[in-house]
Amino acid sequence: MLESKHGTLKLDGAMGTELWRRGVPTPLPLWSAAANVKHPDVVEQIHRDYVRAGCELITTNTFRTSLYTMERAGLTEAWQAWNRQAVRLARRAAGHDAWVLGSVSTLEDCYRPDLVPDAFTVRSYHRAQIDLLVELGVDGLLLETFNSLRELDAAYKEARRHLLPVLASVVLRDESHLYDGMDVSHLADWARRARPDVLCVNCAPPSILDVALLRLRRQLDLPLGAYANVGRPGGEMGFEFTHACTPVEYGVWLARWARLGVKIVGGCCGTTPAYVASVRAGSA
């Protein structure tokens, strides 16, 4: 299992929105994926900046490199190469200072549970992506921003076929519900049965994640994780920046979660290395 001598592990922050901040186009549906081959130096530098910010978990830029997405973009033959490059860039930046987590997300839009494909499609495409990331040598798997328990459970079963840590994370519509309308209590029931190594909530404002974490903490004995966004879904690239939370303010949330015993804290859309660096001082 991934462990930290400080108790709380620091996950990195956003990749897609950080690419956009640095002048790299991130058009949908591939979003950040093409940067692995068109702007590899920027991707690697972002990874390195997160390592310098004290992050012990670096996430591969594979949020939108599934075979499902790349087939629809007419890039089937490039699927393995793009994923291989993503893992290589993360591994090179992480060096001996951080673990590399293979990012796996929803096949369709992570805010649209109504688009989740049928069970066979979900299982087969997630199996392909997970098997490839494991083959490429990641240290663990991060199933992130899942909007429905149906798809999360399918991906989790594929991930559990491998002897690697599996972190399972959901995106919340509000303090009490996933985007598919499922109550957080049902998420707790699922986690109690499935036993992921860490159960996380992500890509919602810190205030929403905070309430959900408190509920989950009361219901579960599993390690928990949280990485919030600092904007809102929307716009041409799928996310709109706001000034709702500064790095200093975000650090207060991270420090609070660390004090509550949350095992993994980091950042999601809109965050930068400055946002996650603050947990080092805040949790000390």
In the chain, the domains with their CATH numbers are 9-282 (3.20.20.330)
Tell me what pLDDT residue 28 has.
85
Task: Express each pLDDT in 51-67 by its tens digit.
Answer: 999 999 999 999 999 99
How high is the pLDDT of residue 34?
97
Phi-psi region of 2 (alpha: psi -120 to 50; beta: other; left: phi over 0): beta
Per-residue confidence (pLDDT) for residue 282, from 0 to 100: 41
What pLDDT score was predicted for residue 3? 73
According to the model, what pLDDT value does residue 281 have? 42
What's residue 283's pLDDT? Answer: 45
The reported pLDDT for the residue numbered 146 is 98
In percent, the amount of the chain with pLDDT more than 90 equals 89
The pLDDT value given to residue 284: 37
Residue ranges in the chain whose pLDDT is less than 70? 1, 4-6, 232-243, 279-284
Residue 136's contacts (CB-CB under 8 Å, 6 or more residues apart) are 83, 84, 87, 102
